[in-house]
Amino acid sequence: MRQILQSLLSIYRNYRLIPLFLCVGVIIDYSLTFYFAGSVERILDYEFSPTLVFAVKHDIVLPYLALTVIFYYFMGYTILKFLEDEEIYPIGVFIILLMSLTHVLGGLSWLVLSEAYSNMIFMLSMTSIIIAISVFGYEIVRRE
């Protein structure tokens, strides 16, 4: 048990590794989207992400996915690197892991096909944004 906790702590402290969870979440999301949607037409009709719809319309899904994964990794890495010695580092890790979970659950929405479920996924996304803005505001007030 102690070995497991030490392993989890080493992952938690590794700002290079945590953003990979987000990258894997995005890949799972889009893989599940294309698998469960069944057709490109359904994606064009029902997909929530305007950037994915654009990529599908212009047949650039793979470059779009690669650039999205690279962008997410470098943004997550940069943010956690800056927060590494700050007291809000755990919140940064939490937001990245919440975004990862949101992406995976978003991909599963094509299997569930429920408006309530889709709204729940949207609320998880909004929760990430609200937490990030709140913590940013807290840091501004705290440093003054």
Q: What is the pLDDT of residue 5?
A: 79
**Angstrom distance (rounded) from CA 137 to CA 86:** 15
Residues 6 or more apart from 32 whose CB is under 8 A from it? 104, 107, 108, 110, 111
Query: What pLDDT digit, counting tens, does each position of 58-107 carry?
Result: 999 999 999 999 999 999 999 999 999 988 999 999 999 999 999 999 99
Structural tokens at position 140: 């501004």
Q: What is the pLDDT of residue 43?
A: 94
Query: What pLDDT digit, counting tens, does each position of 12-71 carry?
Result: 889 999 999 999 999 999 999 999 999 999 999 999 899 999 999 999 999 999 999 999
**Angstrom distance (rounded) from CA 138 to CA 104:** 29
Q: Tell me the Ramachandran region of residue 125: left when phi exceeds 0, alpha when psi lies from -120 to 50, beta otherwise.
A: alpha
Q: What is the pLDDT of residue 6?
A: 82
Q: What is the pLDDT of residue 40?
A: 92
23-40 exposure pattern, b = at least 16 Cβ within 10 A, e = fewer:
bebbbbbbebbbeebeee
| pTM as predicted | 0.89
Structural tokens at position 14: 């590794």
Contact 19, 80 (CB under 8 A): yes
| Cα angle: 44, vertex 48, 49; to 5 degrees | 85
> pLDDT-based confidence at 9, cuts 50/70/90?
confident
Q: What is the pLDDT of residue 7?
A: 79
